[in-house]
Amino acid sequence: MTLNDRDAGIAEYWIVSPDDHQITQLILQDDRYTESIETTSITMKVAPQATVNLTRVW
> Per-residue pLDDT for the chain (58 aa), expressed as one digit of tens each?
455 666 777 899 999 999 999 999 999 988 888 999 999 999 998 888 899 999 998 8
pTM (2 decimals)?
0.78
Long-range Cβ contacts of 10-18 (<8 Å, 24+ apart): 11/45, 11/46, 12/44, 12/45, 12/46, 14/42, 18/58
